[in-house]
Amino acid sequence: MRAGLYWMGIAVGLGIAACGGSGSEPPPFAVTPSLTAEQACSALSTLNETTSSPNGTYRVNVTSAVLVPAAAATATLAQQPEHCQVQGSMNDRVSPVNGQRYAIKFNLRLPSSSAWNGRFFMMGGGGTNGTLGDARGALPGAGQTENALSRGFAVVSTDSGHDNATNNDPNDGGIGSFSRDPQSRRDYYYDSYDHVTQAGKRFVQRYYGKAADRSYFVGCSEGGREALLMAERYPSYYDGIISGAPNISAVRSASPQIVQDLAKLARDSGIPDNGGLPSIHKTYSDSDVQLVSSAVLQACDALDGLKDGMVGDPQACTTARVRPELERLICSGAKAADCLTALQVAVFPQIMEGAFNSKGQQIASGWNWDAGIGGSANGVVNQGWRSWFFGSFGGAVSNSPKLISHNLPYVAVTPPPVLKVAEIPEWMLNYDYRSLSEDPAVNYPASGIYTDPPGVVFTAYGAGNEYRNRGSKLLVYHGLADSAIAFSGTVKWFEQTQAKTNAQDFVRFYPVPGMNHCAGGPATDKFEMLTPLVDWVEKGIAPNAIIAEASNPAYFAVPSRSRPLCPFPTVPTYNGTGNVDSAASFSCR
């Protein structure tokens, strides 16, 4: 099998005479040497590439270039074509601040010439990154049946400049210790994605003898933030971007407020402390949370024209609608499984509101009322929502909510505090968010060696005309029952984008009723956005509704369910006739 067209340097590296062109950069299609795919892949290890940004020029170090054979699909992984897997790093160094060794690592998979579809794809990370990623290009919402590599994309991933296995100091924030080093913090904010994009595209050029025809970026959560970052900071790099549940700003975080309000509820309710910390996980049982979900449905289920166990109109489902239904659940006597205490009813809307400063001004977005709040439905357990706010009710640890381990102390505070991992819960409990000004960015400016103000560089303000004018497109989606990242924050981002430019020309924003963080919940959470994005970019076919299916229809006690995901602010509305579990019976209005 032949690998296709390759660059002159590969031919020279293998002792094959090259012809045509002069200087260090060969012209495209300079040679077509008769190399096996294995030889051509191996030759990539000899490349001497560099990438540049305002923060420096880095040499690309290839650590391995191996031909991976084609493989059939399995139950957990899509089929893969034969491809060249290249791994390496950039900016390998020892930090003068904490003495740890850092590097921007990358993982790249290049399909054989016959399998390559001519496109480049970068996959986003998650959390605070620190994990290299498999570079197969998972498609959020599409399940495990396919990925970008299986479709023929050249795919790259990165750890964003630090490694959770080695850059992990339990006496200085654990895996958050990377933010002690200003360059590692900068790499995580934005710089690594710049360099890895450049390197990935250069390898594509070298391997195939031509640049990619189109480039795409896809990510959810932190990867969703990275996706919006590319559209705003590097608008010429990608032709199409998918951003799911974007972590738009850790600076404007409501986490401390939630933790502190629940801690007070635990103690005011007489729940014993656990290990000296308030038992946040015991403030609401699974049945309590399900009661809240039932109250939401009672207040808002029919607002989209059909009572179907889903809240289709997020803007209409307000605290003012839900609160009376919650108050009807207050126990007339002792606490029981079918009622809530007056304290529980008072605090739940409070933690849903977001964070406010000492002036009463909102500084962090609030969460949506949605059926996906519930702990179960029709016997199907849903822990996705409560895992962030409360943690496991049956757990032995009082500080189990995921919000406790939020990255706020490290990536969003300047300078970052020195905290042992065990001290993080106490920091969250004692953090005085109510003293913040109306814009938390003011509280976390550039400081000393930390020259990047988090409130500026770690925040998405809305894509602008430069991205739009080059014909690039952007799809954004967010679950309405996301308890990790507030849906309303993404609404604000969309409104900021609209204020900058005609967003309808290049952006579609899709709410996903019932869906938890990036997936799961009583939702039609299985959908495929890459094909509509490619069609919009390459054929000019703008998407409207995107059909989504329930990955677990047992939530609704039906064999299957589909719905249209509607571009905001339209909502999926029942037409009045037809199968209520079929998307064909709904319109976006």
Selection from 66-80, 339-353, 385-399, 423-437 with the highest mean pLDDT: 339-353
What's the average model confidence in pLDDT over 337-348?
A: 98
Percent of the chain surpassing pLDDT 70: 91
Catalytic choice (195, 281, 478, 517): 517
Residue 6 has pLDDT above 80, yes or no: no
Range list of H helices, 272-340: 286-300, 319-327
- Secondary structure class of 587 (helix, strand, coil): strand
Place of tokens 């991933």: 157
* Residue 366 in domain: yes
Residues making up the chain, counted from first to last? 589
Return the closest-CA partner of residue 220 out of 241, 237, 235: 241
Residue 23 pLDDT grade (very low, low, confident, very high; cuts 50, 70, 90): very low
Residue 435 pLDDT grade (very low, low, confident, very high; cuts 50, 70, 90): confident
* Residue 184 in domain: no
Whole-prediction pTM value?
A: 0.93
What pLDDT does residue 5 have? 38
User: Could you report the per-residue pLDDT of 146-168, keeping only the tens digit for each?
Assistant: 899 999 999 999 999 999 999 99
What pLDDT does residue 28 have? 34
* Residue 7 in domain: no
Residue 9 has pLDDT above 70, yes or no: no
What average pLDDT is seen over the chain? 89
Return the closest-CA partner of residue 543 out of 475, 465, 487: 475
Residue 8 has pLDDT above 50, yes or no: no
Ranking 13-17, 128-132, 417-421, 535-539 by mean pLDDT, the lowest is 13-17
Residue 421 has pLDDT above 90, yes or no: no
Q: And the tokens for 290?
A: 């399900």
What letter represents residue 198's amino acid?
Answer: Q
Domain count, the chain: 1
Residue 399 pLDDT grade (very low, low, confident, very high; cuts 50, 70, 90): low
| Annotated catalytic residue 213 | no
Percent of the chain surpassing pLDDT 90: 70
Range of 407's domain?
255-454
Q: 119-123 and 214-220: which strand pairing?
A: parallel
Residue 436 has pLDDT above 50, yes or no: yes
* Residue 103 in domain: no
| Annotated catalytic residue 535 | no
Q: Are 176 and 184 in contact (CB under 8 A)?
A: no
Catalytic choice (281, 482, 488, 525): 482
What pLDDT does residue 394 have? 85
* Residue 276 in domain: yes
What pLDDT does residue 21 have? 31
| Annotated catalytic residue 478 | no
Residue 119 has pLDDT above 80, yes or no: yes
* Residue 293 in domain: yes
User: Could you report the per-residue pLDDT of 85-107, keeping only the tens digit for each?
Assistant: 999 999 999 999 999 999 999 99
User: Could you report the per-residue pLDDT of 298-320, keeping only the tens digit for each?
Assistant: 999 999 989 999 999 999 999 99
Residue 30 pLDDT grade (very low, low, confident, very high; cuts 50, 70, 90): very low
* Alpha-carbon gap, residue 91 to 188, rounded angstroms: 13
Residue 357 pLDDT grade (very low, low, confident, very high; cuts 50, 70, 90): confident
Catalytic choice (150, 184, 215, 221): 221
